[in-house]
Homo-oligomer: A and B are copies of this chain.
Amino acid sequence: MAQNKKQVEQITDMEADFAQWYTDVCKKAELIDYSSIKGMFIYRPYGYAIWENIQRILDDAFKKTRHENVYLPMLIPESLLQKEKDHVEGFAPECAWVTYGGGDKLEERYCIRPTSETLFCEHYANIIHSHRDLPKLYNQWCSVLRWEKTSRPFLRHREFLWQEGHTMHATAQQAMAETERMFNIYADFYKNVLAIPVVKGRKTDKEKFSGAEATYTVECMMHDRKALQGGTSHYFGDGFARAFDITFTGSDNQLHHPFQTSWGVSTRMIAGIIMVHGDNNGLVLPPRVAPIQVVVIPVAQHKQGVLAANQAVADRLRAAGLRVRMDDSDQSPGWKFAEYEMKGVPLRLELGPKDIEKNQCVLVRRDSGEKSFVCLDGIEEAVKTMLDAIHEGLYAKAARNLEENTYACASLEEVKEKMAQRGGFAKTMWCGDEACEIRMKEEAGVSSRCIPLEQEHLGDTCAVCGKSAKHMVYWGVAY
């Protein structure tokens, strides 16, 4: 166990310095590496494998709801980006520009996509003609570029991986329903796959997406009680459709503009996983996206029959559809224990000569450290049951953190005081004026996270100005 301890000591204590703990985990669990360009990161195999599992499950959900994948160019001509005024104002300052191609200076410069609304609109203008062409339900998996000033692994990259859905509908009602549907798919994914509870709500006008009429968001609370915006779904009305001259002939034989949505999640999800579930031994992965769900570690592997018995168990678990790694390297068991703890593998299975005699193995849960002896007959079911229990346990713990650190405040002063003490989400009534939102930011250092769909009546007046309140709002410090 000496080696075990040694490795654990290499990461910073999360309560002492959460930011450094986070960076340590990203590096030491081999999720990510730095490149020679500031702000551009390398997704290493273990980090990318988490993204692949996320992709597979979300993509199935998108396809089940009849979405189709496409791939559009990564470059946007400057003139195209400028067609929708609010949109270009939001994104132009963060663009990376291509000015030379094949040795020649380009006549028009091209932006590497920061998001693809404009490209989708151009394409939709070409392929939508009749109400029979609607709805169009497209999704794209790709990377996007935003030339940010600061960067942090998974949280803020100049280039990051994401999916962006872009859909067109015959009516505003259908587009709104799509916006909500996808937003609910995200919320369900957080709960059922990532074991992360979310607050579902609408962004204020100040915080919504450039060019959108409404932005819906799922907001998560990290272990340090700061907020992470987990995914957004936007309703555009027919604003882009008008700017890009997209029309269709309705069943009434008249020309109409279609109504539009877009929605996306990114590899920021991995930041959420790390910061919600991780602990001082490293990463803790929710079982449904863990690249390795069970690590099988032979004990006294030099003894006769031990490796064969371990291999047999690993094969049985694999045959049952589980993601399994057996580590029969010449590292000590202590080293291996620490290594797979750091990597957040949900379940460790140990099997040595004595266990084999008793037809049992040892299962150790990564989340609680709980150790149990389990009969090898029916080990597949026992492991699956335990993985589900780990998922539920992680969710319950995260839900407790969210619940215990969400509190009502009656005034800006109270928000300021409590936020300084404990962070978390402060909920207050709000008049709806941006001026009050700005004051909250300036004085309490918090941004509005969302106007939750589930409203509570905390009082009649705005916590900032005292005027008549319109909504209850969640406030927090965000990543």
- Partner-B contacts on A (CB < 8 A): 33, 35-37, 40-45, 48-49, 51-52, 68-75, 77, 80, 93-103, 109-110, 112, 119, 122-123, 126-127, 138, 142-143, 145, 147-149, 158-159, 161
Q: Determine the distance from Cα of A259 to Cα of B75 in the docked complex, in whole angstroms.
A: 35
Which residues of B sit under 8 angstroms from A96, Cβ to Cβ? 75, 98, 100-102, 110
Q: Determine the distance from Cα of A159 to Cα of B76 in the docked complex, in whole angstroms.
A: 13
Q: Are B73 and A49 in contact (CB under 8 A)?
A: no
What's the nearest-Cβ distance from chain B to residue A266, in Å? 12
Q: Are B35 and A72 in contact (CB under 8 A)?
A: yes
What's the nearest-Cβ distance from chain B to residue A360, in Å? 31
Copies of this polypeptide in the complex: 2
Q: Are A122 and B36 in contact (CB under 8 A)?
A: yes
What's the nearest-Cβ distance from chain B to residue A53, in Å? 12
Closest to A75 in B: B37
Which residues of B sit under 8 angstroms from A149, Cβ to Cβ? 102
Which residues of B sit under 8 angstroms from A93, Cβ to Cβ? 102-103
Q: Are A70 and B44 in contact (CB under 8 A)?
A: yes
Q: Are A35 and B73 in contact (CB under 8 A)?
A: yes
Partner of A100 from B48, B68, B97, B126 at Cβ < 8 Å:
B97
Q: Are A36 and B127 in contact (CB under 8 A)?
A: no
Q: Are A36 and B74 in contact (CB under 8 A)?
A: no
What's the nearest-Cβ distance from chain B to residue A79, in Å? 9
Which residues of B sit under 8 angstroms from A68, Cβ to Cβ? 45, 48-49
Residue among A71, A72, A110 with max Cβ neighbours from chain B (10 Å): A71
Which residues of B sit under 8 angstroms from A126, Cβ to Cβ? 33
Q: Determine the distance from Cα of A73 to Cα of B43 in the docked complex, in whole angstroms.
A: 9
Q: Determine the distance from Cα of A69 to Cα of B53 in the docked complex, in whole angstroms.
A: 12
Q: Determine the distance from Cα of A69 to Cα of B73 in the docked complex, in whole angstroms.
A: 23
Q: 9 additional contacts, CB 8 Å, given A93-B103, A96-B110?
A: A35-B72, A35-B123, A43-B70, A48-B71, A71-B143, A97-B98, A97-B101, A98-B112, A99-B99
Main secondary structure of the interface of A (DSSP, over half): mixed
Which residues of B sit under 8 angstroms from A75, Cβ to Cβ? 37, 40, 96, 159
Q: Determine the distance from Cα of A119 to Cα of B37 in the docked complex, in whole angstroms.
A: 11
Q: Are B102 and A100 in contact (CB under 8 A)?
A: no
Can you identify 10 A-B contacts, CB atoms within 8 angstroms? A37-B73, A37-B110, A42-B70, A48-B69, A74-B145, A75-B159, A96-B101, A96-B110, A97-B101, A98-B98
Closest to A72 in B: B42
Q: Determine the distance from Cα of A11 to Cα of B344 in the docked complex, in whole angstroms.
A: 56
Partner of A36 from B40, B48, B80, B143 at Cβ < 8 Å:
B80
Q: Are B77 and A37 in contact (CB under 8 A)?
A: yes
Closest to A104 in B: B147
Contact A143-B74, Cβ < 8 Å, known A110-B37, A122-B35: yes
Which residues of B sit under 8 angstroms from A52, Cβ to Cβ? 69
Q: Are A73 and B159 in contact (CB under 8 A)?
A: yes
Q: Determine the distance from Cα of A161 to Cα of B93 in the docked complex, in whole angstroms.
A: 28
Which residues of B sit under 8 angstroms from A49, Cβ to Cβ? 68-69
Residue among A36, A48, A52, A109 with max Cβ neighbours from chain B (10 Å): A36
Q: Determine the distance from Cα of A96 to Cα of B101 in the docked complex, in whole angstroms.
A: 4
Q: Determine the distance from Cα of A391 to Cα of B127 in the docked complex, in whole angstroms.
A: 33
